[in-house]
Amino acid sequence: MQLRRQRLGCSLLNEFCGCLLYTDDILLITHTVHAMQMMLRLYDKFANDFDIKFNCGKSVAVHTGKRLKEKCVPLQVDNKYILYVTELKYLGVHVCAGQLLKFSVEHIRSKFYKVFTLDLRLRTLK
């Protein structure tokens, strides 16, 4: 609710989306680095209020958009810097940096074909 009230986040298909949550995995989505740092400060405050620790070692950021090649200011959570990466994995789906936000499931398809090919080889050996 605080994200919506403070207008932090973005709209996806005309619906507000500031974060995606699934059990203990959180994906924050916003349109500027400044807004992302503001979101991270809100999460820091939430963590302090409810005695929760975020694992900064597992936290990363992906930068997308027209200024992809430009260096971004560092983001911080709990006074620790977050690493910028070109790809991250969220719930088995790879989120890729690019001029547009991209999602990839190619690794899943690749694993399927490897298992399928191995199964076919094993069946032909019988």
pTM over 0.75: no
Rounded CA-CA distance 64/120 in Å is 40
Report whether pLDDT(112) > 70: no
Rounded CA-CA distance 120/21 in Å is 38
Residues 6+ apart with CB under 8 A from 107: 94
A 10 A CB-CB count for 40 gives 21
Q: What is the pLDDT of residues 85-105, one digit of tens each?
A: 888 888 777 787 777 777 666
pLDDT at 89: 82
Rounded CA-CA distance 95/30 in Å is 14
3-state secondary structure of 47: helix
Rounded CA-CA distance 118/12 in Å is 40
pLDDT at 75: 92
3-state secondary structure of 120: helix
Rounded percentage of the chain residues whose pLDDT exceeds 90: 6
Q: What is the pLDDT of residues 44-101, one digit of tens each?
A: 888 889 998 888 788 888 887 777 677 888 898 888 898 888 888 887 777 877 777 7
Give 3's pLDDT tier (boundaries 50, 70, 90): confident
Average pLDDT over residues 31-38: 88
Give 116's pLDDT tier (boundaries 50, 70, 90): low
